[in-house]
Chain A
């Protein structure tokens, strides 16, 4: 290809990109973010549950009740479920996305987000269930 031919192609690829990005944004709006919800919410929910749960153990022992920890667990589970719901929604939406290239990428991101959310839900569960058998004040002097 000569330099003249290249000049004829000038900015074509860049222009195409800008057009298709705008097209996708119009088509999707806020929904363009839904495949990412699982990626963001799952780690946040799990880290919140583990980090805040760990930090509140001494306090739970002092106040003599566990309901704040149960509330924290419910909140974390809700975040995971929101991640799962958003990922499933994105998976369904991806059937209608054009071009097909973007749809394939969106399906993949949604699928990983879905599985991450499910894994975080599993993680929260395995951390939560044993606490029913452990005295909150054990090991606190």
Chain B
């Protein structure tokens, strides 16, 4: 057991507005030793051995946004195709592939990993931990995601991409109606990529439950951390469902099992139930951390404590709970009993209540504060408008009679883009502007940020609002073209114009990011005056996150320390080993010290072995045992006994 204790410093040099303060807190020699212990190896080979959460979190975010750009370009191609009637820019086959890859990538390769990336980067800092609980698993999850996502996109370049829609319904996705490797790529890659989501969920849960800074009891946890915790539990319950479904379909196609083949007693509805039992919570898996992001920004830029902390925890938990009882509302037109449908109609309408509670809490917080309209806050205000509009159409499509009228029409396309882009992309953009100074040590340009926010907001509404009208006029979704004379041409042209404006808005942010990395103003440790612990470390964060782990005495430690001029920290952690405090689940009392592993190549090697097995499964079932034993061999080295407590 390492000797640890709690100490309070009268005037804490780490509260100084420069990173010199962090060095002065422990002395130069100790500072350098600790930083050396936690340093990630540099260089090409070193890149494959890094395990620090800040490195892995950033990789998740950057990779997710690369996939976002690629998927966005596919969206633009679809909009160009639909800009006018009987357009022949894309063939029906190409359109179907592009549509499927766009939807699948946006959901599986962008939205969830981006949220997980933000969570992996920010949550350990917010709870005052030095790293995540399982750093190597974290790295493994990233490589799985990177390899799986790249293979998925490569299939499009090779002309063998899936083309049965992002929800891959059977019997269309059965071997009879979808020959070739497209659907096999979908099933294997989705199962594979979701492994990454599961690993992230496990690490986040353990990190939040056991590695919180001493004193950060559950009622002092930032709302973002609550949101990440709820999201992680939702992933644990939801993802296995789609993994099982896609594994069943994979086996139907590969070894002729009959799970979804009607002629042999299988059921296509089983696919829909399994898929949507994951698919609907998925929307909230994306939304819930976004709610945490919005809360963080609202509190910081209103400059006052959050109104209704307990109500927000209830709302987030309630949304997580209810989201698992809505899946059948995607199946209102499949011939289910009326009484059964009524249960899900009631539940679908009910989710508006916790969502409304949150909005009122945010309004009340802003109402009582002195609001600063910096760029992150503008993205949040845009989120309010877009998300509330999406929520209102959500209540409409929750109703069975209305849904049966607009099912499979562009009204639904408009609705879910308002909810998903409004609920996830706008907060994510806010998060980029909010935490970019922390992650890079540079400020983003406010002028470019405001320009980007306004362009995206206007472009988004021009793109997707007309789709409500198109849907009500009867335009079905998933069509590659339409005949002249239906009156849909003008609205489609307007939507296409809006899509390019939307792309311009995102391009402005991309330019802003690239430019600011070199030329942005240097960011102080706490540029926005935030109240949570991520602002207590340097910008960018130190290798060890916190040179001395903080001890928390309220929900707003940064504001309290600023007033008091001192803070309490953990003393006595080793300078030569990667040590972090383990605390009790409820009250975060110090419990023990955990020694975390350092850089290692085995997560990468193991992910390559797993990829070999999964990608091979597309072509032959024999790759399953080959992949299994390959992963097993790498795991032997991964788990080779080490001696974390051995003195160096």
Contacts and interface: CB of A to CB of B under 8 A. Distances in A.
Contact of B592 (A14, A50, A126, A138): A14
Contacts of A67: none
Interface in B346-375: 346-347, 349-350, 353-354
Contacts of A122: 350, 353
B5 A6 contact: yes
Contacts of A46: 321-322, 325
B3 interface: yes
Contacts of A115: 310-311, 314, 318
B337 A9 contact: no
Contacts of B311: 115
Nearest to A19: B589
Counting chain B CB atoms within 10 Å of each CB, the highest count among A47, A105, A107, A122 belongs to A105
Interface residues of B, number: 47
Given A13-B4, A138-B339, A139-B336, A112 B314 contact: yes
Given A11-B1, A11-B4, A54-B328, A109 B350 contact: no
Given A14-B590, A105-B218, A119 B341 contact: no
A9 B569 CA distance: 13
Nearest to B220: A105
Main SS at interface, chain B: helix
A5 B9 CA distance: 13
B586 interface: yes
A109 B218 contact: yes
Nearest to B26: A1
A9 B572 CA distance: 8
B310 A134 contact: no
B215 to A, nearest CB: 8
B497 to A, nearest CB: 42
A102 B587 CA distance: 6
B346 A130 contact: yes
B93 interface: no
A135 to B, nearest CB: 7
B313 interface: yes
A1 B590 contact: no
Interface string A32-51: 00000001001100110010
Contacts of A5: 7, 571
B214 to A, nearest CB: 7
Nearest to A134: B339
Interface string A104-141: 11011101100110011011001100110011111111
B360 to A, nearest CB: 14
B317 interface: yes
A96 to B, nearest CB: 17
Contacts of B633: none
Given A7-B3, A13-B4, A105-B217, A57 B340 contact: yes
A127 B344 CA distance: 8
Given A17-B589, A115-B314, A139 B321 contact: no
A108 B219 contact: yes
A116 B347 contact: no
A114 B209 CA distance: 22
Interface of B: 1, 3-7, 214, 217-219, 310-311, 313-314, 317-318, 321-322, 324-325, 328, 335-344, 346-347, 349-350, 353-354, 570-572, 584, 586-587, 589-592
13 contacts: A9-B3, A13-B589, A13-B590, A21-B584, A61-B337, A116-B321, A119-B314, A120-B321, A123-B347, A131-B339, A134-B342, A136-B339, A139-B337
Given A14-B1, A139-B340, 18 more contacts: A5-B571, A6-B7, A6-B571, A9-B4, A12-B6, A39-B317, A42-B321, A46-B325, A50-B344, A57-B337, A104-B217, A105-B218, A115-B318, A116-B314, A119-B353, A134-B338, A139-B339, A139-B341
Q: Which 7 A-B pairs have the closest CB atoms?
A: A9-B5, A10-B3, A17-B589, A108-B219, A138-B338, A13-B590, A6-B572
